Chains A and B, each alone.
Chain A
Amino acid sequence: MNSDPGTDLVAAIRSLPEKVPPCDITAKVMQQLSPPAPSLWQRLRRQLLTPIGFQVSPLGATLWACSCVLFFLAGYWSQGGLRGELAPSGDTPGGVPLGVNPAVLAVTTANSPEANFIIGRDLLMAGSEHQAVAFLRQAARQAPQRAAYHFWQGIAYWQTGQYEQERASYLQSIRLKPDYLPALLNLGNSYLQGGKAVQAVQLYSQVLELNPREEQALYNQALAFRISGDQVQEIEALQAYLSQYRQGSRAWKVAERLRELGNHRFRSYQLGRTRVILDQQILLSPKGAAQQAELLRIAEVLRSAAPVQLHIVIFDPTGVALARTKAIELSRGLTQALAPAKSLSITSSWFRQQEPSSPGIAPGRSDRSIVLFTTPLPTNNQEQRI
């Protein structure tokens, strides 16, 4: 079957989502089929005016009366018995209602909200989501002022697939504590997964106001803009992510996405055996703390690399003098950043032209650009071959 070229397409057709019909279709159809229902007045009139008659046999009446008495006595005895067993003092322990097995009840409720919260959270960690929901719901009911309880209740709802309740719990949590970052973030994620990009963006903005370095919010904000089709905002969000994070698979995905969108501010460079993402715009901008940070990134890579020669190539169609100045400035900056631990051989070149496009790079790059690459350092002790 695998050789069938339509197999994947068939699988895709099978997994296509279906529309859920409105819930009132059956009612509307049946309304059209059934004869019109009598009005309230007609029904009342029929009920009140129709005479009621019933027949009773002596044996039946006796049996009926006996069973009523038996039921009454059974109920009376069972209540008295239970009262005697469970609460001799006349009260039930922990408010457990009479007639309910307290052992069973203890599984779903505890008197202390903290206890319910801890048990619920542990159950959640252990993968018993459905049980956890009961405990966390109880905790949130017992201590409705605790934002964390509502937050964890939301997580439990999410894990059991109750997304509406999940959002309601996060919202309640945020109502109680408007700057509760985990709830804001999770609510944003929930909206994002539900395709509500606008709401998600709003929440991520709130998260980033509280913590501008929150990685998930930075990344997901870009995803939300991508879903909503706003490329300008997406590029800004992607750049904001790379301004904070340059390592890890997400950083590479972000750099790749920026390249796809025709934005070449952040480029990846192969330095020795390491590939690094650098902010081209900052490298080409006037000296400053940000540029120093970029140079330190390069220095860090080169410090741990085998001896190599670094080539700095600046393309600047606006003027050769500017390109030259920048190349020399970067070369000096790098030497300073590496000193005194390691000396570095740097070759600088500059061109008064735009960087020639290569097949891997899409058009739309900025006019000024910088290329960094390394070559092995020529050594004197190499074997000479004749």
Chain B
Amino acid sequence: MNRRRLAAVEPSDEEIVARVLAGATQEYAWLVRKYERPIYNLMYRVTAHEQEAADLAQEVFVQSFAKLQTLDNHQPYFNWLYTIALNKGRDWKRALRNRSHHTPWRETDHAPRKDHFQDLSSQEQAIQQQQYQEQLQRALLTLPAEKREPLILRYSYELSIREIAEIFSLSESATKMRIKRSLEQLRSLVENPFNQVSPHEQ
């Protein structure tokens, strides 16, 4: 899912927000449907647990609805929503540190489906690719959210540097530098998996 695909959905976020604020509460479902995937995935990266991520994503949307009147007209809805979600994730982590029980480790994603009449070497490649992706996922989860999320926003959702800077309240040059350093750190973690620690050990 990328930014282009998000932006392709009609009507625009501004229009929906205006309608919701005018009393058409049901219109809010458009925004939830449109952004549930990135918000749920963000929460999943934070919690590494499907049910917990779903609950938190719901809370984010409810909270966003309650605060919708405070949304600045010039600020894109998604950036604002993502900021709320990031704060929610931080709160959750803080609460987790105070909890005694351990959150279960993430479920393994299934291998990407491939042609099974193909030459079997491709199946091996698929396995290798899956292993690499798992390694990358693990490395990504090792990064703190402040470093990980700019990377995801930049490369998975294709947000502009300015938009990411807005979300993280940083200058554009600082955002660029953060993305560059995060990428370097991620590379080092992928190449030396032994440097990785569980995200819950941070």
Q: Does chain A bind chain B?
A: yes
Chain A residues within CB distance 8 Å of chain B: 5-6, 9-10, 12-22, 25-26, 28-30, 32-34, 158, 163, 186, 189-190, 192-195, 216, 219-220, 223, 226-227, 249-250, 253
B82 close to chain A: CB less than 8 A? no
* Shortest Cβ distance from residue A299 to the other chain B in the assembled complex, whole angstroms: 30
Interface centre among B44, B54, B121, by most A CB within 10 Å? B54
Inter-chain contact B58/A223, CB cutoff 8 Å: no
Q: List 29 A-B contacts (CB under 8 A).
A: A5-B187, A9-B183, A9-B186, A12-B132, A12-B136, A13-B136, A17-B109, A19-B53, A20-B37, A21-B41, A21-B57, A25-B32, A25-B54, A25-B57, A25-B58, A25-B61, A26-B32, A26-B33, A29-B61, A29-B62, A30-B29, A33-B65, A34-B25, A34-B26, A163-B113, A186-B116, A195-B110, A220-B120, A253-B124
User: Within 8 Å CB of B40, what residues of A?
Assistant: 19, 21-22, 25
B190 close to chain A: CB less than 8 A? yes
CA distance A227 to B111 in the complex (A): 10
Q: How many residues of B are counted as interface, with CB atoms below 8 angstroms from the partner's CB atoms?
A: 49
B166 close to chain A: CB less than 8 A? no
User: Within 8 Å CB of B25, what residues of A?
Assistant: 33-34
Inter-chain contact A223/B120, CB cutoff 8 Å: yes
**Can you name 8 extra interface pairs (CB under 8 A) apart from A5-B187, A29-B29?**
A9-B183, A13-B136, A26-B32, A33-B25, A163-B113, A193-B113, A194-B110, A195-B110
* Shortest Cβ distance from residue B116 to the other chain A in the assembled complex, whole angstroms: 4
User: Within 8 Å CB of A21, what residues of B?
Assistant: 36-37, 40-41, 54, 57
Asked if A28 meets B58 with Cβ closer than 8 Å, knowing A19-B50, A216-B120, the reply is: yes
B167 close to chain A: CB less than 8 A? no
Inter-chain contact A16/B133, CB cutoff 8 Å: yes
Which of chain B's residues has its CB closest to A34's CB?
Answer: B25
User: Within 8 Å CB of A5, what residues of B?
Assistant: 187
B151 close to chain A: CB less than 8 A? yes
Asked if A250 meets B120 with Cβ closer than 8 Å, knowing A19-B50, A25-B36, A29-B32, the reply is: yes
**Interface of chain B residues 64 through 92 with chain A (CB within 8 A):** 65
